[in-house]
Amino acid sequence: MSRADGSGKLGGLLILLLASQAFMALSFARVIGDAGSAAFGTGVVGAILSYPILGTKLGAELARFGATLVLLHAGLAVLAFGLAGLTRVAWPDGRNSQRVLAIFWLVLLVVWILAANAAWYPGSSLGEPYAGLVRVGIAGISVFSALTAALGLAIVAVLVAAGARCRALIRPRTAWIGGAACLAAGVAVPVMGVIGTASGDAFDDRPHIVVIGIDSLRTDAVQNPGQTLTPGIDEYLDQAIQFSDTYTPLARTFPAWVSIVSGRHPHTTGAFVNLLPRELIDEGETMPSILSANGYRTVYAIDEVRFSNLDESYGFDEMLAPPMGAADFMLGFFADTPLANVLVNTKVGQWLFPYGHANRAAAETYDPDVFIDRIGDAVAFDRPTLLAVHFTLVHWPYTWATAPRLSREELARLPPIERARSLYDMAVGRVDEQFGDLMDLLEDKGALDNAIVVVLSDHGESLGESSLIADHDHAIDRLLGTHEIFGHGTHVFSKDQYNVVLGMRSYGNDLLPRAGGSVLDSPASLEDIAPTVLDLLGLGLDQRFDGRSLVPYLRDGKSPPDVERIRFLETEFNPPGISPELLMTASAIMTAADKYEIDPDTDRVLVKTHYLDEILARRQYAAESGGRMLATIPAADYRKQHLLYYDPETDQPRWLDGPPTAPDGAEIVELWKALEQRFAQVRQRPVLPPPSWDQENR
């Protein structure tokens, strides 16, 4: 090859490299445009980047992501250059130069990547404009399928033709050596497998524990005769023992899950708000830490962690989840580029793009099957195992990569209740498929030969319904917004938010009755799960739990009268403008972002601790027993409170004039004492007389 030819090829490769980087830059065009009209317009991204990021973990993760994209797009250029070279080898008499052929191959590869992105991820930034086009069918074949077939045939033709012009270089002796090596490997692998099995642990008949949480799952979404959204979950519940009157202590994922694993109330552990600094939480010995100390492998798998920072420090040996931190917030938005999207759900993508792989936060590319595959690849049941899995697909905004989609304009035209319900129901149907796939995986791995499976929802969801106290008092409605409630953790009088699914079922053992299907109405709490599981395993209840063991009710299948149990509810931080009935605005994001900061060493997003007193003071708190509820409602001056009592027998809420006394009734006094004992904020806030609408709004 002459020096001129070498220089020409080098120049051609340089052109390809520049073109591939231009493609990368253009890939961000719409993302940046969307950010400019939303986040950038009010400085949200600027607020995040106002922290010095040089030398921080956030800076390192952003640099890693940028370098990965640059190298991948460079690799795309090299691939096109290599295909051009093979084309010249295959047809040396062709009139086109390698530079022209290389540009042709690069264009063809880029067009296929754009088409694949649009076909697989129609809601992605550069997928949405072309999704309809690539799915157009001609004679039953979509444009994308035809393009894929054409690209595949072209590559095969080049490889075959180029190979035909090359001499065979494999010598017989080399073939003999290779065959011997293959034979040795074929013998060694089974032998090593036998040795490994023989040297493993002795047989252990303790059951596996599988806890499956489903985010935001309402109790009326399952086993509802009027609709069949959840055939898989319904089949499980038909053979399980259910607790129909189960409450979550706080209708947010992180506080609820800390209570699930610890058996303690959020105000016992300190896990009473999302994204708290870890050192402020004292969960004590947890179910996973106790099981781990008793020889169990403990694994926690979740597909979204932006606001739920449960990790290995809570007693788990292994965590299957996207990385936590500010990079997760940012890259969930900015990583939406065609080449990254095409790779993100592959095995290579798990390594290259950990913030997008199996991450429900990156909804545009989230594939529910990939999360199941990740669990299947990582978890073996060769010894007693605790597997805790949390599916977040039903959490707002109720969408995923291939979800049926309405345009933003169509969504805006729908009434809020209809919009939220439609999207929610679709997500419930898809998470039921995910649940079924997980159960099939557990069966295939032999886990269900001996297991206890607990299925729960961490909280419910309001979809525009009225609260328990709506339509009774216009002042109450105007002050508390008791009509058309949305979301979770927003209203203590919304049973749809706090009443949750809870079922327990034995597989291959008699720790629970084999014939399930019982529905018990004894008051239960998510705090009861840890003491119940430990009691079933005979590990004792020496730990201090706020919850209680449900074993007596599980084993005799009866629900004793227990209406006197007091359970507590509270709302959480609810930034204005961020709710399922709204299309999120940049100003709402900015309001919420102001309450958080980034730890430069861990990249964790943390609530600013000086806001905690205000966040706690602005909450509603309630004590419930037998359906009776006493709630404290922040006054206009949130450092003070009003008391509101509701009795389902009279179905009439009433304001109290002050702290309850004997004339108000023993039940109310008992609830008040319980509230004061549980919540420091209740003890600290003066109780005002019943509010006046006019006074509250002056």
Residue ranges of the chain whose pLDDT lies below 50: 4, 36-44, 167-202, 580-587, 694-698
pTM: 0.89
Predicted pLDDT of residue 465: 87
CA angle centred on 435, ends 434 and 437, rounded to 5°: 65
One domain for residues 132 and 259 = no
The secondary structure of 88-100 as a DSSP string is HHH-TT-SS-HHH
User: pLDDT of 136-148, one tens digit each?
Assistant: 877 778 889 989 9
Instruction: Say if CB 275 and CB 256 are below 8 A apart.
Output: no
Predicted pLDDT of residue 552: 85
One domain for residues 465 and 553 = yes
One domain for residues 549 and 600 = no
Secondary structure of 189-200 in the HEC alphabet?
HHHHHHHHHHCC
Instruction: Say if CB 571 and CB 619 are below 8 A apart.
Output: yes
User: pLDDT of 198-216, one tens digit each?
Assistant: 333 445 889 999 999 999 9
Instruction: Say if CB 519 and CB 502 are below 8 A apart.
Output: no
One domain for residues 551 and 665 = no
One domain for residues 647 and 688 = yes
CA–CA separation, 652 vs 654, rounded Å?
6
Residue 577 lies in a domain: no
Instruction: Say if CB 299 and CB 378 are below 8 A apart.
Output: yes
Outline where DSSP puts E strands in 576-687.
596-598, 605-607, 621-625, 628-634, 641-646, 654-655
Residue 635 lies in a domain: yes
Domain count for the chain, please give it. Answer: 3
Predicted pLDDT of residue 413: 81
List of residues 6+ apart from 567 with CB closer than 8 A: 247, 249, 523, 525, 623, 624, 625
Which contacts qualify for 106-114: CB closer than 8 Å, 24 or more apart?
106/16, 106/19, 106/20, 106/76, 106/77, 106/80, 108/151, 108/154, 109/76, 109/79, 109/80, 109/151, 110/23, 110/76, 111/147, 112/147, 112/148, 112/151, 113/76, 113/338, 113/339, 113/342, 114/338
Predicted pLDDT of residue 591: 57
- Residue 553 lies in domain: 208-322+358-565
One domain for residues 598 and 544 = no
Which secondary-structure segment (H or E) carries 58? helix 57-90
Predicted pLDDT of residue 500: 98
Instruction: Say if CB 284 and CB 544 are below 8 A apart.
Output: yes
Domain boundary among 147, 164, 181: 164
Neighbours of 379 (CB within 10 A): 19
User: 69 is written with which tokens?
Assistant: 């994209």
One domain for residues 494 and 598 = no
